[in-house]
């Protein structure tokens, strides 16, 4: 069995998952504290990264309908988190949408 970071990266790539390094890069500007893993900002950033990665996959594999369903579920979850954030913390909502390049709905 492989050991080390390279093994984790190659396994994650094969399964279309995010590596630890990709998660850190995606969320470094949005975390509330060092061990943040549950805030809406953190989750939205992870969903956005996974959505972008899965969109690239679906452009190559247009008949992968199971992954397409997963993508739609992720988009729905991200939308619900954005709605929650907009209602409870509008300042954070604007910050997240600006940093991630998402459309700000009025």
Using only C-alpha atoms, the chain has a radius of gyration, in whole angstroms, of 15
* DSSP class of 37: -
Nearest to 44 by CA among 76, 95, 78: 78
Percent of the chain with pLDDT over 90: 60
Tens-place pLDDT, residues 23-73: 888 888 888 888 888 899 999 999 999 999 999 999 999 999 999 999 999
For the question of whether the overall pTM of this predicted structure is more than 0.85, the answer is: no
Res. 103: pLDDT tops 90: no
Answer yes or no: are the C-beta atoms of 104 and 96 closer than 8 Å: no
Q: What is the CATH number of domain 5-100?
A: 1.10.287.10
The C-alpha atoms of residue 39 and residue 31 are separated, in whole angstroms, by 8
């Amino acid at each position: 069995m492989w050991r080390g970071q390279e093994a984790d990266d190659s396994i994650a790539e094969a399964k279309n998952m995010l590596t630890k390094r990709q998660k850190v890069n995606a969320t470094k500007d949005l975390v509330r504290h060092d061990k943040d893993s549950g805030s809406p900002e953190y989750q939205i950033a992870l969903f956005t990264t996974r959505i972008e990665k899965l969109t690239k996959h679906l452009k190559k594999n247009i008949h992968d309908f199971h992954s397409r369903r997963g993508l739609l579920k992720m988009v729905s979850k991200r939308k619900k988190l954005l709605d929650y954030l907009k209602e409870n913390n509008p300042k954070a909502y604007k910050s997240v949408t600006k940093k991630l390049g998402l459309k700000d709905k009025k």
